[in-house]
Chain A
């Protein structure tokens, strides 16, 4: 089991639905990340939060909306997704601050299917 918890593990949603992915860590990490991973591909960075502020947005479409309510929680709000958005969505955390390249701790992801 990992120290980063993601819910739900699986999600099926229609293109008109609104849903949210949740991520939680209690390691005191100050940086949190959302990655998208397609089958047999590496993770692609979507967003980075540092000290609860959005620090990196990798030109992600606005149908994905991140939120960091506090230092332990990270949400990804989904609206009007397309079938090509189906993927494994991974949350990760790291010590953050000036330690930009510290190791990432990943959750086990949410398998999202858009119908």
Chain B
């Protein structure tokens, strides 16, 4: 089974600054997908960004971008110009491209944004 590791239980960033959340994963597959989901205090799970493993180009969504290092099995999330509304739990998730379509989540990183 694939494992997803988020080594930072908590992170803190000042408003307007940049923060990077780490994620590593373990897999023997070559075809897979990676995601970052955000869970604010409302507990709603919201997709932040996704990356297909076959794409070399790093995904970007406005202030959110990833650094996808396939050989190192690393998938970090960079949040630029942090806003108070970015405060949430962030989950990294893996999805196989070969069998099963469910997401396998990491333990999460709690992001605090300070004024």
Q: Check if A and B associate.
A: no
Chain A contacts to B: CB under 8 angstroms: none
